[in-house]
Amino acid sequence: MSLLDKFAVAEQLKSGLVKAGKDPTSVVFDIINSATEAVVEGRTTILAGTNNYLGLTFDPDCIAAGVAALKSQGTGTTGSRMANGSYAAHGALEAEIADFFQCGHAMVFSTGYAANLGVLSALLGKGDVVLLDSDAHASLYDGCRMSGADIFRFKHNDMQSLERRLERLKDRASRCLIVVEGMYSVLGDNAPLDEIVALKQRFGASLLVDEAHSLGVYGERGCGVAEALGVLEQVDFIVGTFSKSLGAMGGFCASKHDVLGLFRYVSRPFMFTASPSPAVMATTHEALRQLRTRPELRKTLWSNARQLYKGLQDLGLDLGPQISPVVAVRCKDRQSALSKWNKLLEAGIYVNMMLPPATPGGASFLRCSISAAHTPEQIETIIARFKELQS
């Protein structure tokens, strides 16, 4: 038995994917034409699986901000903020995020994944308890594990299951963090954050919400599901990413608690990695400005989401439970998902293949995510290609 033997399982997984057609990890966008179109193996392809919700990746002002920062501040920070100092842009973006969420404190991380590891591992320790939604993203689970706290899962969006877990904690409830997402990444469904807030208050627990997929998508100001449900002020920690609606890279935490300022001294995924580069800070800052000042982007996104959901629903497909910019098509089984995903790609449509075990209920999905930058014609084409799969 060697160190390398365990890769036999990964080899098997890979050959299963290759046998069905293309291995999703090997898809290459050779030319990126726009936020919604690329060239794959010489074929013009509609991108329907990008998380580019506001379609800002090719926004001229975001690009100009990134280019200006590259020219004036260089290509990278070459170190962590703890050891190598902060750039003014890091603090400026943190101030903007705190202002956006109207919560007083914000902290920027190098990725959304690092934000979840960094916040959860700083906040929680041995003797603390996490109640984690069963559909929560891997980064939330990894952060909880890294913390050493006791982790209990509750059934996805099931308030009775959460309540039972809280009841069982008795006095430990005051050392409990409830961890959920705003909009869930695979099915596009929302957490009932108003009910979760009521429970956390009743039991004296705390609440962290990952708004990675809901930032810029939900809420009057675009803050996410907590804002949309009127409970933003009651959430203890909001985490999120710059890599989806803001079209850049990086992550953040926003909080009303002064203690967030101390995370800088104890959060290892913040302290021991290079800080985000000047170009990333600048494009993110400009994208956030656009998110705040162009509500029409959100309006177009929702109109596009409704068009795609309705169109696929009319085909009789088994979809996620609510209209959302994430539209997940449930497939009969793994083989069917693999085959349909390949046929769509050959027909010029790129969607995400979501296979167990990283999926709700262990099912297989073709996950579409729609953007404000998609045209109605592109959406009709996506629907038409799904229809062709049925014949």
Ligand X SMILES: Cc1ncc(COP(=O)(O)O)c(C=O)c1O
> In whole angstroms, what is the distance from residue 140 CA to residue 126 CA?
17
> In whole angstroms, what is the distance from residue 354 CA to residue 338 CA?
9
User: Per CB under 6 A, which of residues 318..357 are in contact with ligand X?
Assistant: none
Of the candidate spans 27-35, 111-119, 293-301, 378-386, the one that interacts with ligand X by CB under 6 A turns out to be 111-119
From the candidates 90, 244, 256, 285, which is the catalytic residue?
244
**According to CB under 6 A, which one of 36, 77, 121, 185 is a site residue for ligand X?**
185
Environment class of residue 138 by beta-carbon count within 10 Å: exposed (0-12), middle (13-18) or buried (19+)?
Answer: exposed
Interface with ligand X: number of residues (CB under 6 A): 14
DSSP notation for 289-332: HHHHH-HHHHHHHHHHHHHHHHHHHHTT--B-SS--SEEEEEES
Q: Does 227 bind ligand X (CB under 6 A)?
A: no
**Nearest distance, CB of residue 243 and ligand X, angstroms:** 3
Q: 151 - beta bridge partners?
A: 130
**Nearest distance, CB of residue 201 and ligand X, angstroms:** 24
**According to CB under 6 A, which one of 121, 139, 147, 284 is a site residue for ligand X?**
139
Q: Which residues contact 41 (CB under 8 A, 6 or more apart)?
A: 28, 30
Q: Does 116 bind ligand X (CB under 6 A)?
A: yes
From the candidates 90, 200, 213, 374, which is the catalytic residue?
213
**According to CB under 6 A, which one of 137, 285, 330, 374 is a site residue for ligand X?**
137
Quick count: other Cβ atoms within 10 Å of Cβ 16?
14
Q: Does 219 bind ligand X (CB under 6 A)?
A: no
Residue 374 known to be catalytic: no
Query: Is 128:149 a contact under the CB 8 Å cutoff?
Result: yes
**According to CB under 6 A, which one of 37, 210, 236, 286 is a site residue for ligand X?**
210
- Amino acid identity, residue 298? R
Q: Does 45 bind ligand X (CB under 6 A)?
A: no
Give Cα separations from 2 to 11, 15, 64, 156, 276 (angstroms).
Answer: 15, 21, 51, 39, 38
Instruction: Please list the active-site residues.
Output: 185, 213, 244
Kindly list the residues in this chain that would bind ligand X in the complex (CB under 6 A): 111-113, 116, 137, 139, 181, 185, 210, 212-213, 241, 243, 251
